[in-house]
Amino acid sequence: MTDTNLALQVWNHKFRNPVIPAAGPNVGSGRMVRRAAEGGAGGLLTKTISSVAAPVPHPNMVRFAKDNLLNTELWSERSPEDWFDREYDIALAAAREFDLPLIGSLGYSPEELAALGPRLEQKGVEILEFSIHYLDEKRLTETAQALRSAVSLPIIAKLSPHAGDLGEIARLLDPFVDGFSCINSFGPGLMIDIEHGTSPLGSQYGFGWLSGPALKPLAVRCVFEVARVTDKPVIGVGGVTRGEDVIEFMMAGASLVGVCTAAILKGWHVYGKIAAEAARWLEAHGYQDIEEIKGLYLNRYRQGQEVVTTIEKTAWVNETVCKACSQCEKVCQFDAISAPLKQIAKINSDQCTACGLCVSVCPFDAIEMISR
């Protein structure tokens, strides 16, 4: 354990660390919500409910490229009655026992939100998150307004990357909400099981929505775009699997991060594991409090400081760190690196176009970009 402070005050609630579940089967029942608390999550959230149980196709999840998923889970397969009669009680008991805030996720139409929102408020859920995933863009503000008029709880709008310009959508919704969560899964996409010539999913056309690390750069970009137009808290979601991802999302402007796919594939202890990794990273970099890195990239951008790497640079090998693995030579498309196996890599600066790829490929962090 480190002494670094990970606790945050968001929407007037104390989160013990920034890593919370994002809506999915990882919080698909009261019991799973309790597991998230036991697994070290900094706050809790429940799977999206709507006015009826979702007609979820089966099968509805398939893994690809090791850590990613395509899914067609829609929203909760449990009816709202199941949730109100039993599941929320279990989730709320866990929230109280572990002293964690509980966010209730709901969807989708203005009428559904106006009916479900007050019931969640009455039940004792402290924050609401509504998803725009299946919303017609013309009804976006009407939907947010309907929920705003129905409850006095803080409201978060969960944004979907297929909906369009999320900065613009955040600007439209800002007057009615207290924060944003971005992003939902992206798609739809298609996988084909080539042995059978069929999709592994049971949805129409076999389509599914992408989540996991493949989504992360898209998600970080969306968080940055949303955080640019609002001072309200943003939950960064998409491909968080390790402590460094938390730091990256928070530097882009996130106040908390959500984890779904990693919790499904690796179990409910990932929340605490990721939070502990973030604490270790902060300590190793001389920070005492996670708040210190919040918005670091966003603020540099806002203040007109340099946030991009410029072209006058060239790759440079730290010869004391290079392990002569020759990976950099393999990926250099410009013949600028000479690294025969077991020989320290040499850069030919005249050939180097400063594309930067070798820096991210080197397994030993032995290459960096320096001024020419």
Ligand X SMILES: Cc1cc2nc3c(=O)[nH]c(=O)nc-3n(C[C@H](O)[C@H](O)[C@H](O)COP(=O)(O)O)c2cc1C
**Binding residue for ligand X, selected from 10, 20, 36, 61, defined by CB under 6 A:** 61
- x/- letters, 306..345, toward ligand X (CB under 6 A): ----------------------------------------
Of 326, 318, 246, which Cα lies nearest the Cα of 278? Answer: 246
**Binding residue for ligand X, selected from 34, 35, 47, 148, defined by CB under 6 A:** 47
Interatomic CA distance for residues 201 and 180, integer angstroms: 30
**Alpha helix (H) ranges present in 184-258?**
216-229, 243-252
**Binding residue for ligand X, selected from 11, 75, 176, 271, defined by CB under 6 A:** 75
Interatomic CA distance for residues 341 and 35, integer angstroms: 48
**Residue 243 binding ligand X, by CB under 6 A:** no
* Smaller CB separation from ligand X, 260 or 367: 260
CA atoms within 13 A on the CB side of 183: 32
**Residue 131 binding ligand X, by CB under 6 A:** yes
**Residue 33 binding ligand X, by CB under 6 A:** no
* Smaller CB separation from ligand X, 159 or 315: 159
**Residue 48 binding ligand X, by CB under 6 A:** yes
The strands making up 61-64's β-sheet, listed across from edge to edge, are 61-64, 68-71, 207-211, 186-190
**Binding residue for ligand X, selected from 237, 250, 347, 352, defined by CB under 6 A:** 237
Backbone angles phi, psi at 161, to 5 degrees: -70, -20
Give the list of residues 6+ apart from residue 235 with CB closer than 8 angstroms, or none. Answer: 20, 22, 156, 179, 180, 181, 182, 254, 255, 256, 257, 258
Name which of residues 154 to 213 contact ligand X (CB under 6 A).
158, 184-185, 211-212
Scanning 8-16, 68-76, 334-342, 345-353 for contacts with ligand X by CB under 6 A, the matching segment is: 68-76
* Smaller CB separation from ligand X, 259 or 290: 259
Name which of residues 89 to 108 contact ligand X (CB under 6 A).
105
Residue 13 near residue 101, CB atoms below 8 Å: yes
Helix (H, G, I), strand (E, B) or coil at 259: strand
**Binding residue for ligand X, selected from 173, 240, 293, 352, defined by CB under 6 A:** 240
| Residue 142: other Cβ atoms inside 10 A | 13
- Tell me which residues touch ligand X (CB under 6 A): 22-25, 47-48, 61, 69, 71, 73, 75, 105, 131, 158, 184-185, 211-212, 215, 237-240, 259-262
